[in-house]
Amino acid sequence: MGRTARAGDTAVPYASGQSALMYGFLFVCVVETVALADLIPWPLLHTITLVLDLWGVYFVIALHASCVVRPHVIGADGSLRLRYGVLLDIRVPAGQIAAVRVDRRFPESKLAAVDANGVAELAVASQVTVTVELREPVVFVRPLGRSARAHSFRFHADDPAPAVAALRARAALDAT
């Protein structure tokens, strides 16, 4: 569970697309904490809401930080590791990757939900930028523990062109 890519691996960051949204959530959480501290006169209720609000602030910071330090990774062997912070970690073996392309879309599905066509989307700020088609489906564990099976993945990369180029180059090395 390394934070960064190992020697020969390529890190593919994705968190900058959600930075503004996460900082907005953080701001709202802090404002809510301060406002409720002034508005609630009952000590017990005040303490409960303060604890819950502070947990919310911690959660927003921790989720965004985990997305920053756990990027997607293209392995030296051509494998692909798709992540969303600590919530999701999908490993796609190099031999399973059939095609990859830059493909900007704005899906409305939940994180890693598989649609009727067998496509799983890992959107960041409601956007995906890379599509990876597989030779055979990959089974993975979604957030909250439910298994899923996908024939292709769409995910967000901050800079999709180099990620696609790296995957294509490594796939060509495996084919020879």
User: 41 — phi, psi (to 5°)?
Assistant: -85, -15
Tokens of 20: 């503004």
8 A C-beta contact, residue 123 and residue 104: no
Residue 12, classed as helix, strand or coil, is strand
User: 112 — phi, psi (to 5°)?
Assistant: 65, 20
Cα separation, 104 vs 163, whole angstroms: 14
Q: How far is CA 15 from the centre of its chain?
A: 8
Q: Which one, of 106, 99, 103, 108, lies nearest residue 80 by Cα?
A: 99
pLDDT of residue 176: 38
pLDDT of residue 5: 62
Tokens of 83: 């992540």
- Cα of first residue to Cα of last residue in the chain, in angstroms, is 30
Tokens of 113: 């939900």
**With bands split at pLDDT 50, 70 and 90, how would you rate the model's confidence at 3?**
very low
Residue 2 has pLDDT above 50, yes or no: no
More confident residue, 2 or 76: 76
pTM: 0.83
Over the stretch 79-98, which tens digit does the pLDDT of each residue have?
999 999 999 999 999 889 99
Residue 79, classed as helix, strand or coil, is coil
